[in-house]
Amino acid sequence: VKEQYFSRGDMWRFTRKLVNTSVYLRKTLDIYGMRATVYGLWVPDSPYRVSSGYITKDTKVSEDVVFLNY
């Protein structure tokens, strides 16, 4: 597993590149050499989770940091 650091600028570029694309759970994304996996999708103002979705410029994207120790 390769360690990655996403600066605020990296995260902005990453999310802008996702606009007008569709994603699904467990989809692996490789954008500008930054790798990420989709682990959750939610409907706004609702407790429901979904398995796929379409990303627009208004979609909120968050980053979770995971530390792995082997």
| Residue 34 contacts residue 14 (beta carbons within 8 Å) | yes
CA distance 24 to 69: 27
Write down the pLDDT at residue 39: 86
Per residue of the chain (70 residues), give pLDDT as tens: 467 778 889 888 988 999 999 999 999 999 988 888 888 888 888 888 899 999 999 888 877 655 544 4
Count of structural domains within the chain:
1
Domain extent, residue 33, equals 8-55
29 within some domain: yes
46 within some domain: yes
| Predicted model pTM | 0.74
Write down the pLDDT at residue 45: 85
70 within some domain: no
Write down the pLDDT at residue 70: 46
* Residue 14 burial by Cβ neighbours in a 10 Å radius (0-12, 13-18, 19+): middle
Residue with tokens 């954008």: 31
25 within some domain: yes
14 within some domain: yes
23 within some domain: yes
